[in-house]
Amino acid sequence: MAPEVGPQGAYDETSGGAMLTRRRLGTRFWTRLGVASMGAHVFYELGSGVAMPFASLAGPVPAATGWAAGTIAAWRIANRVDERYNTVIGVMNGMFLTAVLAHFIYWPKRWINSVPLLTECEGLRGRVLAPYNAILHFSGVAAVAGLLENGRRAAVRGALIPVVSVPVLLQIQKIEFRRLRVQARRNPGWWNRRLQTR
């Protein structure tokens, strides 16, 4: 049964009417930061001239529209004052963590004080990688914290997502990058400019 929402938060009858504060249910601070950082991730790629995921299949405008809509939808889900969404949000955070891990596993990197820094990624090189690395690190922290802020059960379920999804995303990443390079040669534009000479 969904908790009853009052002006101060929500009451959960299964826990003896204990107050579930909006701080716990209504904000999901780290999850929302994770949503924002993943949106920043894909749009930074687009703005930097290495396209974005699914642009090789749909083109830049439909892909950007889809990612914008997905980011808005995920943000709204993160704001749901309802524990029934905890598992969905746990899976969401698990997918965010999957994306970060797949990038650092697949692409060349160096280590500074045990922190990985990409030296090349999806056509990005040089100075443009500094903000990109920062976005990825922030996304990783937000994903882990987002898993923890939604309860133990949701955290465990969400943490299992990368175990299954990282190997799959590594292959998808490889295929998508190859398609984007072919597309950049056949249909050059501002959005894939860094891929045109690769």
Angle between the N-to-C axes of helices 129-148 and 29-48, in degrees from 0 to 180, rounded to the nearest 10: 160
**Would you state the pLDDT for residue 25?**
45
* Strand partners of residue 4: 11
* Strand partners of residue 21: 9
**Would you state the pLDDT for residue 21?**
42
**Would you state the pLDDT for residue 26?**
52
**Would you state the pLDDT for residue 198?**
59
CA 143 to CA 133: how far, in whole Å?
15
Q: What tokens appear for 129 in the block?
A: 């990688």
- Walking along the chain (198 residues) 10 residues at a time, the average pLDDT comes out as 45 40 62 96 97 94 97 92 83 96 97 96 95 98 92 86 96 95 94 88
Q: What is the pTM of this model?
A: 0.84
Question: What amino acid is encoded at 92 in this protein?
Answer: M
For the residues of 73-139, what is the DSSP string, one character each? HHHHHHT---GGGHHHHHHHHHHHHHHHHHHHHHS-EEEETTEEEES-BTTB-GGGHHHHHHHHHHH
Question: Is residue 52 within 8 Å of residue 189, measured between CB atoms?
Answer: no
